[in-house]
Amino acid sequence: MTTPPRWTYVCRRDDIVPNTGVAAKVGQAQVAVFRVVAPDGEDEAVFAIGNHDPRSGANVISRGLVGDVGGELVVASPVYKNHFCLRTGRCLEDESWSVPAFQVQVSEDGLVLVREA
């Protein structure tokens, strides 16, 4: 028996200041949701990864600075500045610190939905 995937409405895309993140409660999990826009205003995308910073133990990944390192979109944890890949949650400095990645979709009218893990 399979249960259908559950998608949680998080906020409107416009509620997220471009190139910042917000934290959202998705089921029991805390998820960091980022809205990323290239400097020319193009190439907009939304990503969701775990909000728990494994290194400090604080739920603050959503408050990190986003950017790219070696061509990969990342967020830097605000505590000890480890970088996490926005697509996969992989920690660039030490893979054992990686965080989960969540599926995310933006509806036509701009609603951000994250899928429960």
Partner 1 sequence: MMKMKLVVVGNGMVGHKLLEELVDRPQIEVTVLCEEPRPAYDRVHLSEFFSGKTAQDLSLVAPGFFDRPGLNLRLNAKAVGIDTTAKVVRTADGASVPYDKLVLATGSYPFVPPVPGRDRPGCLVYRTIEDLEAMRQWGSKSKIGVVVGGGLLGLECAKALKDMGLATHVVEFAPRLMTVQVDDMGGKLLRRKIEALGVTVHTQKNTLEIADGAGMGVGGRHKMVFADGSALETDMIVFSAGIRPRDELARNGGLKMGERGGIVVDNACRTSDPDVYAIGECALWSGKIFGLVAPGYDMARLVARQLVGDQAGEFIGADMSTKLKLLGVDVASIGDAQGATPGSLNYLFSDEVAGHYKKLVVSADRKTLLGAVLVGEAEDYGTLLQMALNGIPLPEHPEDLILPARQGAAPKGLGVDLLPASASICSCNNVSKGDLCAAISGGAASLGALKKCTKAATSCGGCQPLVKQVLDAELKKAGVTVFNHLCEHFAHSRQELFHLVKIGNHKSFDEVLVKHGKGRGCDICKPAVASILASVNNEFVLKPRHASTQDTNDYYLANLQKDGTYSVVPRIPGGEITPEKLIVIGRVAQRFGLYTKITGGQRIDLFGARVEQLPMIWKDLIEAGFESGHAYGKALRTVKSCVGSTWCRYGVQDSVGMAIKVEERYRGMRSPHKLKMAVSGCTRECAEAQSKDVGVIATEKGWNLFVCGNGGMKPRHADLLASDIDDATLVRYIDRFFMFYIRTGDRLQRTSVWLENLEGGIDYVRKVICEDSLGIGAELEAEMQKLVDTYECEWKKAINTPETLRRFRHFVNSPEPDTNIQFVDERGQIRPMTRLEKNEETV
The only residue of 1, 4, 5, 96 in contact with partner 1, by rule CB under 8 A: 96
Is 66 among the residues that bind partner 1 (CB under 8 A)?
yes
Report yes or no: 103 and 1 within 8 Å, Cβ to Cβ: no
CB of 22 to partner 1, least distance (A): 4
Query: Where in 19-48 is the site for partner 1 (CB under 8 A)?
Result: 19-20, 22-25, 30, 33, 36, 38-40
Calpha distance 117→31 (Å, rounded): 10
C-alpha atoms less than 13 angstroms from C-alpha of 113 in its C-beta half-sphere: 12
Q: How many residues line the site for partner 1 (CB under 8 A)?
A: 45
The sign of the torsion formed by the CA atoms of 96, 27, 32, 103 equals positive
Q: Which is nearer to partner 1, 49 or 74 (CB)?
A: 74
Of 46, 48, 49, 74, which lies in the binding site for partner 1, with binding defined by CB under 8 A?
74
Where does this chain bind partner 1 (CB under 8 A)? Answer: 8-11, 15-20, 22-25, 30, 33, 36, 38-40, 52, 54, 56-60, 63-71, 73-74, 76, 78-79, 81, 83, 93, 96
